[in-house]
């Protein structure tokens, strides 16, 4: 079943002092809680994944924190199974976790990139660049 939505509940961006070298950017993503939400589709329910995404510009120069939740719609029986596993082990099936974390990472990386740019912070992900290859042909495509 599909991801029904992803929403931010808290956005915090702080530049604690002017940036100095050496600068290291550490990122972290964690699932804090998994709970059930009712869906408007009969026989289905939503699993709510509460997450926290963070960037730390060390040593203590700036930070970005994004808290939010992702809703994943599934059959009622499957939702109960996911919740039972979470309550028992605080883990989620690897295939589901991969799907959830990838969706969260895409949204959080884009949001963090925009927010860090507003404060004049360097990007936390490597941006694509063009490189001129020596001996390249004059093909214009």
List pLDDT tens digits, range 109-139.
999 999 999 999 999 999 888 887 765 566 6
Place of tokens 């930070």: 63
| Within-domain flag for 125 | no
Place of tokens 């969706």: 103
| Within-domain flag for 135 | no
Domain that holds residue 98: 3-118
Q: What per-residue confidence (pLDDT) applies to 43?
A: 81
Nearest to 27 by CA among 128, 112, 129, 114: 112
| Within-domain flag for 138 | no
Total of domains in the chain: 1
Q: What per-residue confidence (pLDDT) applies to 139?
A: 61
Specify whether the CB–CB gap between 100 and 49 falls below 8 A. Answer: yes
Could you tell me what percent of the chain has a pLDDT over 90? 79
Query: What pLDDT, in 10s, does the model give residues 70-90?
Result: 999 999 999 999 999 999 999
| Within-domain flag for 132 | no
Specify whether the CB–CB gap between 48 and 63 falls below 8 A. Answer: no
| Within-domain flag for 80 | yes
């Amino acid at each position: 079943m599909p991801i029904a939505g992803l929403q931010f509940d808290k956005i915090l961006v702080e530049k604690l002092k002017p940036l100095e070298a050496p600068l290291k950017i550490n990122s972290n993503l964690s699932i804090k809680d998994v709970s059930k939400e009712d869906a408007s589709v009969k026989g289905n329910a939503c699993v709510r994944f509460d997450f926290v995404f963070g960037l730390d510009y060390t040593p203590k120069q700036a930070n970005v924190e994004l808290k939010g939740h992702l809703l994943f719609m599934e059959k009622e029986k499957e939702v109960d199974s996911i919740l039972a596993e979470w309550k028992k082990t605080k883990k989620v099936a690897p295939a589901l976790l991969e799907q959830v974390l990838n969706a969260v990472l895409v949204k959080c990386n884009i949001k963090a990139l925009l927010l860090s740019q507003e404060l004049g912070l360097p990007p936390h992900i490597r941006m694509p660049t063009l490189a001129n290859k020596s001996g390249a042909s004059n093909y214009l495509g």
